[in-house]
């Protein structure tokens, strides 16, 4: 696990560089996408590189981490609509190249199995971007989630619903109680994971993720067992890291040729 502490604009640049280097090398790469606030600056930087520098997503495929259950297809907070608005409709993904779990399926369990199969059929995710919740969840794997879990239906905690109420006009009652989410084992199969977190509210989760014991109570800690994870945090999110000075020194000494 590599931890980089930098200003938010530098974090966005680093994450975008990882995507660009992958796509220049493998235009048909499989990308993992996430909604929420954490990736927005990364997506803006990728859109800039597409517009100004010709970075193409035309041959790539992408999979979302999760989806609410029961939101109408046209609802602006349905995650497939959110990712289109924030990113994929602003670049040149081919029609149908971006998929998410089907939160409107009649058989939700079958939809979860189908989603797992679709990711596997695409060859697995090459690069997954994600954030982390204040309670340590990644994707929608809430505290107590099985570390061996696959894509499934989950009940959201009241903390997660309260955190997400800002996307629903501040009304927590409008936030769905259920979601479909890639499981922790599913996430762990991505070849490279880039986790972005900013702000003091994420400091406890980042401390646990990087320095705490691996525990289902802090689901993100499973990433300690992944062979290639880049944790990109600003000073506020890094404020509880005991090894913060070490992480700063290792980044300062990092060879120029070495990417994430």
Neighbours of 128 (CB within 10 A): 28
| pLDDT confidence band for 131 (50 / 70 / 90) | very high
Give the pLDDT confidence score for residue 88 in this predicted structure: 98
pLDDT tens digits, one per residue of 174-183: 999 999 999 9
Q: Which residue has the tokens 């090398």?
A: 25
How far apart, in whole angstroms, are the C-alpha atoms of residue 128 and residue 29?
Answer: 11
pLDDT tens digits, one per residue of 68-112: 999 999 999 999 999 999 999 999 999 999 999 999 999 999 999
Give the pLDDT confidence score for residue 259 in this predicted structure: 87
User: Going by C-beta distance under 8 Å and a sequence separation of 6 or more, which residues neighbour residue 174?
Assistant: 165, 168
Q: Are 119 and 94 in contact (CB under 8 A)?
A: no
* Span 11-27, average pLDDT: 98
Give the pLDDT confidence score for residue 227 in this predicted structure: 98
How far apart, in whole angstroms, are the C-alpha atoms of residue 206 and residue 89?
Answer: 31
- Write down the number of H helices and E strands in the chain: 8, 10
Inform me whether the pLDDT recorded for 8 exceeds 90. Answer: yes
Inform me whether the pLDDT recorded for 42 exceeds 90. Answer: yes
Q: What is the average pLDDT value for the chain, to the nearest integer?
A: 97
Burial 40-59, CB ≥16 within 10 A → b, else e: ebbbebbbebbeeeebebee
- Give the pair of three-digit tokens for residue 79: 């995650």
pLDDT tens digits, one per residue of 156-211: 999 899 989 999 999 999 999 999 999 999 999 999 999 999 999 999 999 999 99
Give the pLDDT confidence score for residue 99 in this predicted structure: 98
Give the pLDDT confidence score for residue 233 in this predicted structure: 98
Sequence-distant contacts of 89-93: CB under 8 A, at least 24 apart? 90/43, 90/47, 90/50, 91/46, 91/47, 91/50, 91/55, 91/56, 91/57, 92/50, 92/56, 92/57, 92/58, 93/57, 93/58, 93/60, 93/62
Judged on CB neighbours under 10 Å (0-12, 13-18, 19+), 216 is middle
- The residues annotated with a catalytic role in the active site are 66, 135, 137, 142
* Span 109-118, average pLDDT: 98
Give the pLDDT confidence score for residue 203 in this predicted structure: 98
For the chain, helix, strand, coil in percent to 5 are 40, 15, 45
- Give the pair of three-digit tokens for residue 18: 């990882």
- % of the chain beyond a pLDDT of 90: 97
- Give the pair of three-digit tokens for residue 188: 């762990």
Angle separating helix axes 8-25 and 40-53, nearest 10 degrees? 50
Q: Which residue has the tokens 């990712």?
A: 83
Matching CATH number, 2-252, of 3.90.79.10, 3.40.50.1100, 3.40.50.1360, 1.10.645.10 = 3.40.50.1360
Give the pLDDT confidence score for residue 256 in this predicted structure: 86
- Give the pair of three-digit tokens for residue 173: 């009652």
Q: Where are the domains of the chain?
A: 2-252
Inform me whether the pLDDT recorded for 66 exceeds 90. Answer: yes
């Amino acid at each position: 696990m590599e931890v980089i502490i930098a200003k938010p604009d530098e974090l966005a640049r680093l994450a975008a560089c990882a995507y660009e280097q992958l796509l220049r090398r493998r235009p048909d790469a499989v990308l993992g996408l996430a909604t929420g606030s954490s990736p927005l600056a990364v997506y803006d930087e990728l859109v800039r590189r597409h517009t100004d520098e010709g970075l193409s997503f035309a041959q790539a495929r992408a999979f979302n981490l999760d989806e609410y259950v029961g939101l109408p297809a046209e609802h602006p907070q349905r995650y497939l609509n959110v990712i289109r608005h924030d990113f994929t409709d602003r670049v040149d993904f081919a029609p149908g190249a971006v998929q998410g779990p089907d939160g409107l399926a009649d058989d939700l369990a079958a939809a979860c199995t189908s989603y797992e199969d679709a990711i596997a059929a695409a060859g697995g995710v090459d690069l997954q971007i994600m954030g982390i919740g204040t309670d340590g969840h990644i994707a929608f794997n809430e505290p107590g989630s099985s570390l061996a879990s696959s894509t499934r239906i989950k009940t959201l905690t009241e903390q997660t619903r309260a955190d997400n109420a800002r996307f629903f006009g501040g009304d927590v009652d409008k936030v769905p109680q259920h979601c479909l989410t890639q499981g922790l084992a599913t996430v762990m199969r991505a070849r490279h994971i880039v986790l972005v977190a900013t702000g003091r509210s994420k400091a406890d989760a980042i401390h646990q993720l990087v320095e705490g014991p691996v525990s289902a109570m802090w689901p993100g800690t499973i990433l300690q067992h992944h062979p290639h994870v880049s944790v990109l945090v600003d000073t506020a999110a890094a404020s509880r890291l005991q090894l913060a000075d070490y992480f700063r020194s290792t980044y300062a000494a990092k060879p120029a040729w070495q990417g994430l």
